[in-house]
């Protein structure tokens, strides 16, 4: 089936199998491998990206369902000159990542969280990120990073 | 929060700064390439058909229908590929001379021994085609009885490997007595004894990146490059060569970005061997990506022990003897270091306590029809620490003293370091009371005890508990001669090369293999400190056996105290060589030169100076070097540590338990960890946070559950409860700094400390909360159901 999606500002028209998941479309058809696959039960959130401005787990969306939408992946977060998105910067400054495999999904979920709730409490952040698993950081510094980003004047 | 009771020799330099990680930008932007991210046109995709039975004879495998599936290029049964294996899959740790080790090949041929055992495979143009084709393979099984209970396995009622005639793989003992009968006498004469049984449930390591493999045969010459999500490219290279009968010089192994390991990627796996063998057979790249559901079955599990521990103590509660009996769950086969895991704990069942030579340890390990076990974060040491720390609380109850006070009575005194332990091992340095005191202050121990006394009254629906856990990490694997005494199949050294390029940029080549620990940042800091060159001018090369041919990789919290120290030593060698060049050029005696701030200066003549940058260029042109000195500025060191590294600390946890629902809330968690000198405190804290949460996860949430037919019923992340951010508390960290005297940096490891300290701290707190209700133990994971059952059984028990 033919679909047309705008990904990180560029429009792509592709022929996909109906069963193709959005995450596989992004990774394999578009070569955007920053979005990771960590499970097969929509539990881990490593594949989170923004679909029409909201974080979704792209393993639970069929590529054909994304027809006509606007998608942002982790590759679309930093500025064109390479300046990190404030959330990426906050993760770096707060050591909110170790192996980095959950990180793209975590950054996408965290930015979406702050759009919905610009001044979250620590509890709000922990609950808001419960769909994204991390095995390295114990979440402590991820939570710190999101709090720092929320508090930053330019975020 | 950090306090320091000893200053580092190198302050105020680069070491000790909270430098942000150079690894992060690529990982944060999606630029980093994990194995599965590499685009390789023409690669065939491997999929493996796995046994749905825990234990069965294979009576028929017919792959012919799979070959008809569009996109399929080949399909093989285990028997079809039997000729490809020059040797069985490796177990590098034959702990006893008579250890039983059944042959284990990448695909089973006659029998399957666990759910997930590979029986056939497909190569196809796409991953989906390969998986589609698995469904067309016809396998007939004759089901046999499963054995998933360790004590049942020990009885040999059902044999996992009939040819062995027993399920027992080995029995390994460590008995240390001042004089014969010392242990028995200690127990006979003891004022107090406790006898406890604990179960270390099976855990699934669950690194967020499932495994992935890509094997690329070279167009000619028979060489192959294996990309794998592995912690151990160097070990994998040797083992791939041996297992497949390829010259070791023809195998290159690369670990690209690796998404966590925790021991699960410290192995040689069937899919790695299948990809290499089939890529060579077909002459094309072959890749395999593990699904999470496969990962839970086809990647090793951790823990899996039944522990009996007995303590003998005098009337003050001072330990006089320890007896330990373990049953270890090997799973269906022995993987790379499976049998050695319980042994890594054998030396730690006396914890951080002063024990006379009255110690009796014996471990019997058995085969079961479950996924093989192997190293999982801590590997043997969390188990040992859990047993002694839980038993110390039981002993405190017997003696009638506060658990913290009982520990203080038994701590190895600070002034006795370096301390020769009952086992003959020498503990390098520690201050247990210092760490415990700091933990108690940061937790508010006394205040919480007062609040507990007020709150935990008869009829209270919520009860407070406080848990204490003091630990040794025993890491930095390891002095090669000690490994020899344990029959380990390799040494414990690490290699480093430091190369100052003509333009004075530096390459550090390390045999350590990071997968999240930030080695590039830390190693650049070590070299910067030593060489007086900015960290950003230092590149760190690793994880590719063509670039870093010598190495023993990353596990057992060994990277910094072995690999990092090797980097420092290689810098020293570079400086020694540079000094000869500087002396020659400055027409001075090498003895008259001082090296500081990246330059040599003649003592007393500050104007006669030569920076390392200039020396590097002189070494490169070689126009005017001292007679007999080789050009270029490069040095290699292979460092075999003289001792293990002995990080230590005390963790404390306060919980509130709802006695009606069994629900546990962690009120506060404090981790005081002393890993000696900290190269980068930012990274140290990160290691502690992650380790603690994995320990909390074992204590409260995680368990690989098998039913009696041997089915893993927690085979996805929907059933296996890896905690989310909302399930765990913030972690309050603190550090004392007791430098290690055994290496020039004063460093110790820290990767496993959090996990080792956490589980007993949490469970001690839970049991402490419920002790007024007669509860003496709560099995891990302390789920609401397990807690509720413990309360109700205690209430029903005859008084």
On chain B, the residues whose CB falls within 8 A of the CB of A120 are none
Residue B502 lies in a domain: yes
- Beta strands in B619-682, from DSSP E residues, in sequence order: 633-639, 648-658, 664-674
What's the total number of domains in chain B? 3
Selected residues 492-531 of chain B with any CB under 8 Å from a CB in chain A: 515-518
Q: Are residues B677 and B788 in the same domain?
A: yes
Say yes or no: B293 and B330 in one domain. no
Look at A139 and B693 and tell me if their CB atoms are within 8 Å: yes
Report the candidate in B148, B187, B110, B486 with the shortest Cα–Cα distance to residue B304: B148
**Interchain CB distance below 8 Å, A127 and B726:** yes
Q: Is the pLDDT of residue A155 over 60?
A: no
Q: Count other Cβ atoms within 10 Å, centred on residue B39.
A: 10
Kindly list the residues from chain B whose CB atom is less than 8 angstroms away from the CB atom of residue A93.
20
pLDDT digits (tens, 9 = 90+) for B720-764: 999 999 999 999 999 999 999 999 999 999 999 999 999 999 999
Q: What are phi and psi for residue A17, nearest 5 degrees?
A: -70, 145
Minimal CA separation from B33 to chain A, in Å: 8
What are B19-33's pLDDT values in tens digits?
Answer: 999 999 999 999 999
Taking contacts as CB-CB distances below 8 angstroms, the residues of chain B near A140 are 689, 693, 730-731
Q: Give phi and psi for B498, each to the nearest 5.
A: -120, 125
Same-domain check for residues B581 and B506: yes
Q: Is residue B29 part of a domain?
A: no
pLDDT, one tens digit per residue, over B430-440 is 999 999 999 99
In a domain, residue B696? The reply is yes
The predicted complex's ipTM stands at: 0.98
Angle between helices B432-443 and B445-455 (to 10 degrees): 50
Token pair of B730 as six digits: 């913030």
Among A24, A129, A140, A143, the strongest candidate for a mutation testing the B interface, having the largest count of B CBs within 10 A, is A140
CB contact under 8 A, B259 and A36: yes
Shared domain check, B454 and B328: yes
Q: Are strands B44-50 and B286-289 parallel, antiparallel or unpaired?
A: parallel
Give me the pLDDT at residue A152, please: 86
pLDDT tens-digit series, residues B355-370: 999 999 999 999 999 9
Q: What is the pLDDT of residue B799?
A: 56
What are the chain A neighbours of B724 within 8 Å (beta carbons)?
126, 129-133, 139
| pTM (predicted TM-score) | 0.97
Q: Given CB atoms, is B754 within the 8 Å cutoff of chain A?
A: yes
Task: State the Rg of chain A over Cα.
Answer: 15
Please tell me the distance from the alpha carbon of residue B462 to that of residue B449, in angstroms, as a whole number.
15
**Per-residue pLDDT tens for B474-511?**
999 999 999 999 999 999 999 999 999 999 999 999 99
* Domain-wise residue ranges, chain A: 2-76, 86-151
**Domain A86-151, second-level architecture:** Orthogonal Bundle (1.10)
Tens-place pLDDT, residues B220-272: 888 999 999 999 999 999 999 999 999 999 999 999 999 999 999 999 999 99
Q: Considering B639, B668, B702, which residue would you say is the last residue of a domain?
A: B639
Cross-chain Cβ contact A43/B518 below 8 Å? no
The answer to whether residue B725 neighbours chain A at the CB level (below 8 Å) is: yes
For testing contact with chain B, the best of A136, A145, A147 (most B CBs within 10 A) = A136
Q: What is the CA radius of gyration of chain B?
A: 28
Does a cis peptide bond (omega within 30 degrees of 0) precede residue A84? no
CATH number for the domain spanning B614: value is: 3.30.365.10
Q: Which two tokens stand for residue B401?
A: 């003293």
DSSP letter at B373? B
Residue B4 has pLDDT above 60, yes or no: no
pLDDT of B560 > 70? The answer is: yes
Three-class DSSP category at B69: coil
Q: Are residues B435 and B515 in the same domain?
A: no
Query: Residue B700 in contact with residue B732, Cβ under 8 Å?
Result: no
In a domain, B100, yes or no: yes
Residue B2 scores a pLDDT above 70:
no
What is the DSSP annotation of B481-502?
Answer: HHHHHTT-SS---EEEEEEE-T
Same domain, yes or no: B467 and B498: no
Contact between A88 and B28 using a beta-carbon 8 Å cutoff:
yes
Contact between B728 and A138 using a beta-carbon 8 Å cutoff: yes
**Residue of A31, A78, A99 for testing the chain B interface, max B β-carbons within 10 Å:** A99
CB contact residues (below 8 A), chain B span 726-745, against chain A: 726-728, 730-731
- At residue B350's C-alpha, the angle toward residues B349 and B355, to 5°, is 150
Domain boundary (B598, B624, B639) is at B639
Of B615, B639, B663, the one marking the end of a domain is B639
Largest CA distance in chain A: 45
Does residue B167 fall inside a structural domain? no
Q: Across all residues in chain B, what is the average pLDDT?
A: 96
Q: What is the Cβ-side half-sphere exposure of residue B130, based on CA atoms within 13 angstroms?
A: 25
Same domain, B134 and B239: yes
Measure in Å the smallest separation between the Cα of A20 and chain B Cα atoms: 10
CATH number of the CATH domain containing B51? 3.90.1170.50
CA distance A19 to chain B (A): 10
Residue B710 lies in a domain: yes
Domain hosting residue B543, numbered range? 493-639
Which residues are CB-contacts of A151 (< 8 A; sequence separation ≥ 6)? Answer: none
Residues of B in contact with A72 (CB under 8 A): none
Indicate whether B249 and B132 sit together in one domain. Answer: yes
pLDDT of residue B88: 97
Cα–Cα dist B599/A56, whole Å: 55
Closest CA to A48 of A116, A101, A115, A123: A101
Q: Residues B370, B357: one domain?
A: yes
Residue positions counted in chain A: 155
pLDDT at B222: 82
Cis peptide before B584 (omega within 30 of 0): no
| Cross-chain Cβ contact B28/A98 below 8 Å | no
Residues B95, B128, single domain; the answer is: yes
Residue indicated by tokens 């060569």: B241
Tell me, yes or no, whether B194 lies in a domain: no
Instruction: Write out chain B residues lying below 8 Å of A122, CB-based.
Output: 730
B7 band by pLDDT with thresholds 50, 70 and 90: very low
At B373-425, the pLDDT tens digits run: 999 999 999 999 999 999 999 999 999 999 999 999 999 999 999 999 999 99
For chain A, the average pLDDT equals 97
Residues 6+ apart with CB under 8 A from A138: B689, B690, B691, B692, B693, B694, B728, B731, B754
Contacting residues of A for B722, CB less than 8 Å apart? 133, 135
CATH number of this structure's domain A2-76, picked from the four choices 3.10.20.30, 3.40.50.720, 3.30.70.920, 3.90.1150.10: 3.10.20.30
Q: Which of B32, B686, B754 sits opposite A141 (nearest CB)?
A: B686
Closest CA to B426 of B495, B489, B472: B472
Query: B530 lies in a domain?
Result: yes
The token pair at B618 is 């002189």
pLDDT in tens, B644-693: 999 999 999 999 999 999 999 999 999 999 999 999 999 999 999 999 99
Pair (B321, B457) in one structural domain: yes
To test the contact with chain B by mutation, choose from A80, A98, A141 the residue with the greatest count of B C-beta atoms within 10 A, namely A98
- Please give the biggest Cα pair distance in chain B: 91
Q: Are both B506 and B630 inside the same structural domain? A: yes
**Closest residue to A98, CB basis, from B516, B731, B754:** B516
- At residue B324, φ and ψ (nearest 5 deg) are -130, 135
Chain A residue closest in CA terms to B518:
A98
Neighbours of B311 (CB within 10 A): 31
* Candidates B21, B29, B753, partner chain A, best to mutate (most A CBs within 10 A): B29
Tell me what percent of the residues of chain B surpass a pLDDT of 90: 97
């Amino acid at each position: 089936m033919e679909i047309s999606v705008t990904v990180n500002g560029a429009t792509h028209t592709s022929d996909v199998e109906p069963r193709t998941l959005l995450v596989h479309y992004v990774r394999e058809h578009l070569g955007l491998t920053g979005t990771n696959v960590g499970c097969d039960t929509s539990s881990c959130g490593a594949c989170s990206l923004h679909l029409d401005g909201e974080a979704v787990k792209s393993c639970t969306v069929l590529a054909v369902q994304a027809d006509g939408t606007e998608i942002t992946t982790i590759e679309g977060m930093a500025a064109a000159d390479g300046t990190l998105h404030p959330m990426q910067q906050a993760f770096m400054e707060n050591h909110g990542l170790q192996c980095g495999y959950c990180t793209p999904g975590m950054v996408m979920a965290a930015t979406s969280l702050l759009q919905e709730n610009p001044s979250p409490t620590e509890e709000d952040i922990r609950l808001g990120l419960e769909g994204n698993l991390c095995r390295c950081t114990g979440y402590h510094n991820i939570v710190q990073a999101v709090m720092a980003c929320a508090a930053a004047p330019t975020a | 929060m950090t306090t320091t009771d000893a200053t580092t020799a190198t302050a105020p330099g680069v070491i000790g700064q909270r430098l942000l990680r150079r690894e992060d930008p690529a990982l944060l932007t999606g630029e980093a390439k994990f194995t599965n991210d590499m685009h390789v046109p023409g690669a065939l995709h491997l999929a493996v058909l796995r046994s749905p039975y825990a234990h069965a004879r294979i009576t028929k495998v017919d792959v012919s229908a799979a070959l008809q599936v569009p996109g399929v290029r080949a399909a093989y049964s285990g028997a079809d590929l039997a000729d490809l294996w020059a040797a069985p899959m490796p177990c590098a740790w034959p702990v006893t001379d008579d250890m039983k080790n059944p042959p284990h090949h990448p695909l089973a041929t006659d029998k399957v021994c666990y759910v997930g055992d590979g029986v056939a495979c497909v190569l196809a143009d796409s991953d989906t085609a390969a998986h589609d084709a698995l469904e067309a393979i016809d396998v007939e099984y004759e089901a046999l009885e499963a054995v998933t209970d360790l004590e049942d396995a020990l009885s040999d009622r059902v044999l996992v490997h009939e040819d062995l005639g027993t399920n027992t793989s080995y029995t390994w003992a460590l008995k240390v007595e001042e004089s014969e009968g010392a242990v028995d006498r200690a127990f006979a004469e003891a004022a107090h004894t406790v006898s406890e049984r604990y179960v270390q449930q099976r855990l699934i390591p669950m690194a967020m990146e499932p495994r992935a493999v890509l094997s690329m045969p070279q167009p000619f010459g028979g060489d192959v490059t294996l990309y794998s999500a592995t912690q151990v490219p160097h070990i994998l290279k040797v083992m791939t060569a041996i297992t497949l009968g390829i010259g070791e010089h023809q195998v290159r192994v690369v670990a690209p970005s690796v998404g966590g390991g925790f021991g699960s990627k410290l192995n040689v796996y069937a899919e790695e061997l299948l990809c290499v063998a089939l890529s060579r057979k077909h002459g094309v790249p072959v890749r395999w990506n593990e699904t999470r559901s496969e990962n839970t079955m086809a990647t090793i599990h951790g823990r899996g022990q039944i522990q009996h521990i007995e303590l003998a103590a005098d009337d003050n509660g001072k330990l006089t003897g320890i007896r330990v009996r373990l049953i270890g769950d090997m799973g269906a086969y022995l993987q790379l270091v499976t049998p050695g895991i319980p042994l890594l704990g054998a030396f730690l069942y006396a914890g951080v306590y002063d024990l006379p030579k009255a110690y009796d340890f014996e471990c019997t390990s058995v085969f079961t029809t479950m996924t093989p076990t192997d190293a999982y974060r801590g590997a043997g040491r969390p188990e040992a620490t859990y047993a002694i720390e839980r038993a110390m609380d039981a002993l405190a109850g017997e003696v009638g003293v506060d658990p913290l006070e009982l520990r203080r009575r038994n701590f190895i005194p600070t002034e006795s370091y370096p301390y020769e332990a009952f086992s003959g091992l020498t503990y390098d340095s520690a201050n247990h009371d210092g760490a415990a005191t700091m933990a108690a202050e940061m937790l508010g121990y006394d205040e919480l005890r007062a609040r507990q006394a007020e709150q935990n009254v008869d009829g209270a629906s919520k009860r407070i508990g406080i848990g204490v856990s003091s630990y040794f990490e025993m890491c930095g694997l390891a002095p090669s001669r000690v490994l020899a005494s344990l029959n380990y199949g390799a040494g414990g050294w690490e290699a480093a090369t430091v190369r100052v390029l003509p333009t004075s940029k530096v390459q550090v080549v390390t045999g350590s293999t990071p997968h999240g620990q930030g080695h590039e940042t830390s190693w650049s800091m070590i070299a910067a400190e030593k060489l007086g060159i900015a960290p950003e001018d230092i590149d760190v090369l690793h994880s590719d056996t063509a670039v870093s041919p010598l190495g023993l990789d990353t596990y057992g919290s060994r990277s910094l105290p072995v690999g990092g120290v090797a980097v420092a030593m290689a810098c020293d060698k570079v400086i020694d060589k540079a000094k000869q060049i500087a002396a020659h050029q400055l027409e001075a005696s090498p003895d008259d030169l001082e090296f500081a701030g990246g330059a040599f200066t003649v003592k007393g003549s500050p104007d006669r100076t030569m920076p390392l940058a200039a020396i590097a260029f002189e070494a490169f042109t070689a126009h005017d070097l001292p007679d007999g000195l080789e050009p270029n500025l490069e040095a290699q060191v292979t460092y075999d540590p003289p001792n293990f590294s002995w990080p230590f600390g005390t963790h404390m946890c306060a919980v509130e338990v709802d006695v009606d629902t069994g629900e546990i809330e962690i009120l506060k968690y404090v981790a005081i960890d002393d890993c000696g000198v900290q190269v980068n405190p930012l990274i140290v804290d990160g290691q502690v946070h992650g380790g603690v949460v994995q320990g909390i996860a074992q204590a409260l949430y995680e368990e690989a559950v098998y039913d009696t037919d041997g089915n893993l019923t927690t085979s996805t992340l929907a059933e296996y409860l890896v905690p989310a951010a909302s399930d765990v508390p913030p972690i309050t960290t603190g550090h004392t700094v007791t430098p290690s005297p055994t290496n020039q940096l004063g460093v110790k490891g820290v990767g496993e400390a959090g996990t080792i300290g956490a589980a007993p701290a949490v469970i001690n707190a839970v049991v402490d909360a419920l002790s007024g209700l007669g509860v003496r133990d709560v099995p891990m994971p302390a789920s609401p159901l397990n807690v509720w059952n413990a309360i109700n059984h205690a209430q029903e028990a005859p008084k």
